[in-house]
Each structure stands twice: as C-alpha cells, then as structure tokens.
Amino acid sequence: MPPTARTTIRKLNDHYESLKEQVAHDAKSPATAGILRLATITALTFLSSSCTKIALTSKVPGKSYWSFTRRNGPKKLSRPVNESLFDFNCAALLQPLIEDKLRNISPVDRARLLYTVAMSYCCATDLLKTGDQKTPATYFECLVGHLIARAFSVNPRTQVEVLQLEDDEIDTLPTDFIFDLGSGKPKFHVPVKTSTRERVIQVFAHQRVLEWGAWVRKIQGDFDLPNRNKIGPQDSGSSRNLRSQAVESLSAVYCPYAPLLLL
C-alpha cells in the first residue's frame, strides 16, 4: 500500500530538520549523507507509488522533460524533470554517497544519482505543499554544501568578519557558504540558489563586500544553481509547453564530484 500524503510529509519534514541540524554541526560527515539517503528514498517511494509522469514539450534542443502529478490529490505539476537524468532505481548507488566513494562510480551514474537526490525531494515537496520555495532551496543548499565539504575535507562557515568603517570595529556578515582551506590556501565563497530570482543580487553584494574586506585576493566565488525551467500554458494536447531559460549549473568547478547538479 503506498504511503499516505500525511505520512510522506511528516517523514520529509523530519529529514529536512535533521539535515539542517547536521549540516550546521558537521556538513562533511557520513551522517549528513545518511539523512540525504533517507530523504531520497522517502521522496522516490512517494513519487513512484502515488504519482504519474506528465510529458512536457521541451524547447531545449536534445533534452526531454516531464513533471510529476499526484494520482489522487490536487492536480498540480511538480517542477520539470530531465528525463535522461532522473533515475527511479538509484537506491543501489546511495551507499557510495554515504561512504564517500562517488569517485568510484561512472560519471554518468554519478550525475544521475546526484540529480535524483536533489530533484526527488524537491518534486515531492512541490506536490505535497503549497507555495513552499524555502524548503527545497535549503535542502539543495545542504546537499551542495555536503558534497563540497567532503571534497575539501573542511566544513563551511556562514559568516565572515568585516570592518565597520565608521568606528573601526569588527562586525560579522552572514553569507552563503565560505570554505576556508587554511593558511596560505584559497577561500571559496559558494552561494547556492535554486532560482536565478532567489535573492540573486545578494550573491554579488556579498562577493563585493568580501573583495573589499580583509579577504581581498584570497577568496574566489562560485555560484551553484540548477536549471531554471518554466512550465508554460497548457497545449491543446496532453502535454504542456516547457519554456527553459538557458541557465546551466556552474557547480563542480572546484568539486571532484563533477558533473554536479544540475544538467
């Protein structure tokens, strides 16, 4: 018997809260990967047992997409899913994620695994909640933060010290992830967003502050985000028109888990 929507929401909420707490405590730990695994399994179970796929007409050359919709429930669509990257059978590959052995699987399987880990949770949330953009965005941020933290073997900071010009006092500035590789080594500012419209100006504002401050010439910026795809008006047929903005992932530049999210 497929899980009820109430049960799935409760489990996903529990995974989400545990993930935020664990990333704040130790983003690079196997425990973080374990929570991501549980969230992925919960989301995939719901999507495979309680949802159907709706084909979308893509205007992106060489790419095909679908959206999920619930069999019994409000008739709304999830965000578009890249057909060639989403893998319902990726559960067997989740163990290398926990064991930090993603380098041991093929680049194709690695891309499909990471894409599915990110998108399954987001799609399930799209269908089970209304107007919730924050939860998928934070989940995606935690996922990328975990992967890069493991690649660098260092946990990120989320604030930096800056100088207040008026009184020459040191204050702190909340930021996206800052990965400090140690004395004499680069520091990386890694904003992670699920939309080009999601406070995107903050990314560049923070980078400018960091360049002006004591971190000048020591910090490099990397902007990670998935495709921004839009579902257009309904076609006369059973599919829907998909309009895609040409925004590709800029991640994996510094991460050996390439190709990281999302193609």
| CA distances from residue 64 to 80, 138, 146 in whole angstroms, order as listed | 10, 26, 29
- Domain ranges, residue 76: 5-152
| Joined tokens for residue 141 | 């941020």
259, part of any domain: no
Task: Choose from 125-139, 152-166, 185-199 the range with maximum mean pLDDT.
Answer: 125-139
159, part of any domain: no
Q: pLDDT (tens digit, 9 = 90+) per residue, 63-119?
A: 899 999 999 888 899 999 999 999 999 888 898 888 888 888 888 898 899 999 999
181, part of any domain: no
Instruction: State yes or no: pLDDT of 183 exceeds 60.
Output: yes
15, part of any domain: yes
Look at 2-11, 85-94, 148-157, 228-237 and tell me which has the smallest mean pLDDT.
228-237
214, part of any domain: no
Q: Are 192 and 171 within 8 A, CB to CB? A: no
115, part of any domain: yes
| pLDDT score of 188 | 81
96, part of any domain: yes
| CA distances from residue 145 to 176, 239, 241, 261 in whole angstroms, order as listed | 10, 35, 33, 12
77, part of any domain: yes
pTM for the predicted model, two decimal places: 0.78
Q: Which residues pair with 169 in a beta bridge?
A: 164
Number of domains in the chain: 1
Q: What mean pLDDT is reported for the chain?
A: 77
Q: pLDDT (tens digit, 9 = 90+) per residue, 112-142?
A: 999 999 999 999 999 999 988 889 989 999 9
